[in-house]
Structures are given as C-alpha cells and as structure tokens.
Structure 1
Amino acid sequence: MPSHEQSHEPFHEPRRDDCPWCGARRLRTRVRTPDPARRTPGPFVVDECRDCGHAFQNPRITDRALAVRDARGRPDPSVERVLGARGIRRRHRAAARAMLPYPEPESWLDVGTGHGQFPETAREVHAYTSFDGLDATPRVQRARAAGRIEEAHQGLLTDPEITARLRGRYDVVSMLHHLEHTPDPRAELRAALDVLRPGGHLIVEVPDPGSAFGTLLGTWWVAYDQPRHLHLMPLRNLTRELRAQGCTVVATDRRTPHVPYDLTGALCLVLTRRRAGTTLTRACAPLLATAVALDVGLAPLLSRTRFSNAYRIIVRRPARTSEASPPEASPPEASPPEASPA
C-alpha cells in the first residue's frame, strides 16, 4: 500500500528549499493544513522566507492539480454562504472608488473576474467605462451573457496569445484577490502591464501575510485558503517588484481592503474540518452570529492596525519608456473615499 506522501505525489511538485521570490534559503513553516472543504489531497504546507517575508505553498500543487482547483473554483458551499456574499459589493465599490482621483478610464480589464461581480458594481461608479473580463473558467462567458462585461476572454493572462491580442488596450487593469492564486505572480504582473496603455493604472488587492490574524489563528486563518492560495506577498515585496518593472506606485491602502471575516472564517473551518453535520451546524448558529458581529463591529478599529488582513496597491505604467519612479521611494498611504470597511 503506498504511503500518504506517495499517494498524493501526482498532485505536488518537488518541495523546494529556496524562496521563489528572493531566492533565499532560510525558510520556516507557517502552517500545515488539510483541505476538507474541497476534499483534495493534502496536507498542504505554507512556508515563509525569513529574509523577505514571502509566504508560499511548498510543495506547490502541479499544473494538473491547478486545473482541478480552477474547475472547482469555489470553496465548500457552507463556507461560501457565510463568507462569500458578506460585504462583497461594498468592497468592490471601494476598489472602484479608489480610481476616482485618476483620469476616467475608457476601458477596464478585470482579471480573474469569475462571474463579473466586480465590473457590475464598478459600473455604478464609472458609468462611462467599458468593462471587459478575463478568467480561466467558463464563468467569464456567463458574465458576458448576463451583461456584466462587454468582452469575455477565457484563459490565462500570461498566455502569449492572449497577451498579444490585448496588448496596450486598457486604461485600467484590476486584479482583486487574484494574484495569490497564480503560479508566477511576477509573470502575471508583467502581462498586466503589457495590456495597459502607456500611463494606464494597475490596481491589485491581495491578502496581507503580515496580518496579526495569521499569527493569532494559525491554521484556522481563512486567508491561507489551501490549496487555492499559492503565494502571499508582503506589501514591500510587491511595491519593489512593480517599481523594478518601471511603474510608479501612486497609492497603497491597508484599511478599506480589510475583509471582516477572520473569526467567522476560523469557526467555519473548525466546523468543516470536524465534519460537522447539519444538526451541529445549526446548534452553532448563535456562535456564528456572534463571530459575524465581532468581525463586522471590530473592523473599523482592526483595519487601522496590524490586524488588517488585506491591502491595495495602485501603480501607473510609465507614459514614456524613459519615465521611472525612484526605486526606494515610499508610496503614501491612501485613504479612499469610503471611510469604513464595516
């Protein structure tokens, strides 16, 4: 009978002993976790580089497993019901409003758009903008059929054919909780800049691996989201990389991107991993309601501290090839118009 590791070998690449971001070899394990929500082979390990702080799935799942992950697309429905719909429109509206200080875009590509929920909400803020969507799954086609986007592009942004077809078409490219799902975030960023027009803007939102919730909740922190999240990138790493690619960082924000779901998500994971039946789940309903109330009620305070669990960065592609930002300049902390993430 094969061992546990052998039985899961087709789903994992060889374990690496260096950081995929900076190449340093000083790694530590942050969490080791199963994936009962999707019943895919585990356990999954998230390692962290002691030098640059980059956290990543190690060993990474294979391309075959990535295809299975993308086909399934969503977490367990019980978790999704509690976490998925809460505050999505507010967060999407906040991301759209973050672009108001800049020239009104004519064309906008939302990468990892799924069912097109973000473009649908963003159109309320940018009524004269044409929104397109790109996604690896057929959901993007359904988003176009529903009228949430103008054009649907199914595939990967890093596919040379797609990059060539979309090169220089867009004033804005958005990646909202998309980059952490990609095997090569640097390649994804390069492709995003390629499809931007000169002077266009890239807006990225990702989980913050430096959030104190990651330390407090450990394996129960929902932002680890194994096996879907392959990389968790500190803000400083992402800003340095984008500057190295010639961009100007025009705004960062750790406040409004905060997602008030940490305690609720941890409780959902406990119930899911314990294979809680319907009766137990119903019995825990008051506890879930309390967790939701705490997450939402504390959000205005926690989002201003190291408990903030996500951040946003907006960069501008150079209008000319000679334009570049100082490599070590620090961007201002922006405060978008929406005052509270609650």
Structure 2
Amino acid sequence: MIANDSVTDPVAARRPAYLADLADGTGRFFEPPRARCPWCGSAALRARLRTTDLLQHKPGRFALDGCRDCGHVFQNPRLTPAGLEFYYRDCYDGLGEKSMSGMFEGNRAGYRSRAELVRGFGEPGAWLDVGMGHGHFCREAGNLLPHTEFDGLDLSEGVELAQREGWVRTGYRGAFPELAGELGGQYDVVSMYHYLEHTPDPKRELAAAHTALRPGGLLAIELPDPECRWAAVLGRWWLPWLQPQHLNLIPIGNLRAELAARGFTVVAEQRGEPHAAIDLVAAAVMAVNALTIGGEDLAWRAARPGRARRLLRKAAFLACVPLFVLAGLLDRISAPLGRTHGWSNAYRVVARRDG
C-alpha cells in the first residue's frame, strides 16, 4: 500500500488548511491603514519600508511607516489577530521549530550578557521571561544565577517544551496583559528580550510588567534599534525589520520616556553591547533564499515544486557558500563599528519599578 503524502509529509499535511485560509486572499489579515502614529498620535508620517515576507515567504505585502515627530516605526496597515495567527504559524513551532531551536541555541553569549547586566544589581529571587521562545535564555541564565527561580511566558508551544526540559519552573501560555493580574507583584525581574516589537500595543505590555513586578523590581528590555545605520544601508534586507512579525520598532528615547511615565526609573542602558554581528550574512542569505524560493516546498503553495527546481535551489545555495563566508567575515571585521552608537542593531534598557 502506498502511504498518503499528507500522512508522511508534514508540509503536505498542512497544505489544505493553508490553502483554505488563502482562498479569499490576504485582505482579512490586515487592519485599515492608520493615519496617525500609534505612539505619539502625530499625523506626520512617512513611508519607511515596503517588502514581502522574507523569512517564511508567505503571501502578502507589508509596509512600515515612520513618525517624523517621535521617530516611532510601525507596521501600517497592521496585522489583525487572524493575520498574526497565520503569519506566526509554523515559524517558532511546527515546521519551523527545528530551525528556530538551532538559532536560539547559537545565542548563548547574548543570553549570558543579558543575565550579567541584571546580575550587577544583585541576584534576584524570581524572574519572569516574557516572550521566552523555547526557554534557552532561562536555561543559560540559570547557570549564572543558580539561586534564581525562572518562569516563562509565551504564546507558542515553546512554553511546554521549556517546562519538559526543566528550564523554567512554571510556563505560562497566553497574552501577558491578560495574565499580569494573576502574576501581580510576584517577580523581582521581568525580562522582555526581543519581545515588545512583536506586540500590537507595547505600552500595554509595559503596564503589565509594572503589575507583575514587586516595588523595586527590575524590568530588562532588549529591542532592535530602528536608528541603526545598517537599516538604511541594507534596506529590506536588514534582518531586524523582520516583516510581517515586527509591528513596532521603538527608538530608545521613546522607550525611556514611556518607562518614566509608567512608574519606572532607568538604571542602565547599553547601546553597543547587544549588537549581533550578523547584518551582512543575514542579508546575503535572505537575498539568495528569495531568489531561489521557487524551489522550496511550502505548505501555502498549491503543489510541491518539481525535482529540477528543488535541485537548482540546492545548487544555488552551494554556489553561494563563498558569498556567505565573505559576508560573515565582513560582519566580524565590522563588529567594533557595530558596537558604536549609531551602528548597533539592538539596545538594552534596565529600569527599576518605583516603590
């Protein structure tokens, strides 16, 4: 008996659901465009980026606008809840779980650097990592802070994965603002590492952090820096734009002012240390991937590509290995520049909840 493809092939198994979701196009995945900045309310907007999904290559076109008054960058039109579900599906779990786990696993130095910054204020008792992914940060930070109890919160299946591995004491699956009430005042530290940019309303998330923290507790945040010059140099190929997942990109000055308004005092900032030297190699990989994507089997396409197209894609990637190596070397050479103000692709802020 010949096995049904949908039983043996996870891509084929997901194809009917994806095609049903796309039967009427992508219009229902987007809200109406905004005429004003969601951060400051200004109507002085400018187009910042127009692109496609360069990560999963799902259908749709995406736009980022910038505010001329406060510098906030935001997706416009923004994804609806149905759009968020569609574009996140099979990215961090499902079909994408293995590749994302590998990426998370490779950032151990970054995890240690985050934990060391907070450790400078004393070892906390209870720490909640919001947007925990698969829990890799909690595992690594636990090695540096053996007396700290780590909990995690996320929307994805990574919560259950981290609990099974024993990397978190408790995993919460859901939206942070909706769960913050039951977590009120329980934590010495709440961390949001590359989380706020994914949320529809970052200010509401900061309010939730204030609720979950004890007086005097610390809020640790890391974000992509929309003021980074690599963003202008690389355009749509700058990885931290990450459309359609990044809904808000917040300049550090805006975050600093909002934290003060929410009852926090900023006690530490890092503008260069969080820089990840991957701008050029990520751009090269995304560009080659986009040029050869016709040869990849994608569940949101009606049929699997032919063997010739699949082989051509593999051959193109093999041929481009020297390009990737060169881009990686240039990233390493330029890393000291990347860790100076204006070139770092990320920043960190630690703020204390006022008593």
Shared fold (TM-score, shorter chain, > 0.5):
yes
Q: Is 1:291 the equivalent of 2:308?
A: no
Return the match for 2:318 from 248, 270, 282: 282
How far, CA to CA, are the matches of 1:182 and 1:153 in structure 2? 17
Deviates more, 1:212-221 or 1:32-41: 32-41
Question: Residue 264 of structure 1 contacts residue 295 of structure 1 at CA under 8 Å; is this kept in 2?
Answer: yes
Deviates more, 1:171-180 or 1:64-73: 64-73
Larger Rg: 2
Which residue does the alignment assign to 2:175? 156
Return the match for 1:73 from 91, 100, 118: 91
How far, CA to CA, are the matches of 1:207 and 1:296 in structure 2? 19
Q: Is 1:166 the equivalent of 2:183?
A: yes
How far, CA to CA, are the matches of 1:92 and 1:300 in structure 2? 20
Matches within 5 A, 1:92-111: 92-111=111-130
Question: Residue 277 of structure 2 contacts residue 338 of structure 2 at CA under 8 Å; is this kept in 1?
Answer: no
**Cα distance, 1:265 vs structure 2:** 1.1
Return the match for 2:216 from 176, 187, 199: 199
Whichever residue aligns with residue 304 of structure 1, its letter is T
Q: Is 1:186 the equivalent of 2:222?
A: no
Seen in structure 2, the aligned counterparts of structure 1 residues 211 and 23 have a Cα distance that, compared at 3 Å, is same
Which residue does the alignment assign to 1:143? 162
Q: Is 1:303 the equivalent of 2:303?
A: no
Whichever residue aligns with residue 316 of structure 1, its letter is R
Question: Residue 105 of structure 2 contacts residue 136 of structure 2 at CA under 8 Å; is this kept in 1?
Answer: no
How far, CA to CA, are the matches of 1:127 and 1:274 in structure 2? 47
Q: Is 1:114 the equivalent of 2:133?
A: yes
Return the match for 1:48 from 63, 66, 69: 66
Matches within 5 A, 1:236-315: 236-275=253-292, 277-315=313-351
Counterpart secondary structure, 2:253: helix
Counterpart secondary structure, 1:205: strand
How far, CA to CA, are the matches of 1:296 and 1:149 in structure 2? 33
Q: Percent identity?
A: 42
How far, CA to CA, are the matches of 2:185 and 2:101 in structure 1? 39
**Cα distance, 1:274 vs structure 2:** 0.9
Which residue does the alignment assign to 1:58? 76
**Cα distance, 1:40 vs structure 2:** 2.5
Question: Residue 31 of structure 1 contacts residue 46 of structure 1 at CA under 8 Å; is this kept in 2?
Answer: yes
**Cα distance, 1:46 vs structure 2:** 0.6
How many pairs does the alignment contain?
A: 313
How far, CA to CA, are the matches of 2:92 and 2:100 in structure 1? 11
RMSD over aligned Cα atoms: 2.2
Which residue does the alignment assign to 2:243? 226
Q: Is 1:124 the equivalent of 2:160?
A: no
Which residue does the alignment assign to 1:9? 27
How far, CA to CA, are the matches of 2:51 and 2:126 in structure 1? 41
How far, CA to CA, are the matches of 2:264 and 2:100 in structure 1? 38
How far, CA to CA, are the matches of 1:305 and 1:158 in structure 2? 33
How far, CA to CA, are the matches of 1:86 and 1:262 in structure 2? 19
Structure having the higher helix fraction is 2
**Cα distance, 1:81 vs structure 2:** 7.7
**Cα distance, 1:86 vs structure 2:** 7.8
**Cα distance, 1:70 vs structure 2:** 3.3
TM-score (normalised: structure 2): 0.84
**Cα distance, 1:51 vs structure 2:** 0.5
Counterpart secondary structure, 2:350: strand
Unaligned runs of 5+ in 2: 1-23, 294-312
- What does the per-residue CA deviation read over 1:279-326, in whole Å, with 9 as the maximum and x for residues that have no partner? 00111011101111221232123211311110000000012xxxxxxx
Ranges of 4+ aligned residues in structure 1 off by more than 6 Å: none
**Cα distance, 1:74 vs structure 2:** 3.6
Whichever residue aligns with residue 117 of structure 2, its letter is A
**Cα distance, 1:7 vs structure 2:** 3.1
How far, CA to CA, are the matches of 2:101 and 2:157 in structure 1? 25
TM-score (normalised: structure 1): 0.87
Seen in structure 2, the aligned counterparts of structure 1 residues 86 and 148 have a Cα distance that, compared at 3 Å, is closer
How far, CA to CA, are the matches of 2:338 and 2:76 in structure 1? 30
How far, CA to CA, are the matches of 1:309 and 1:39 in structure 2? 23
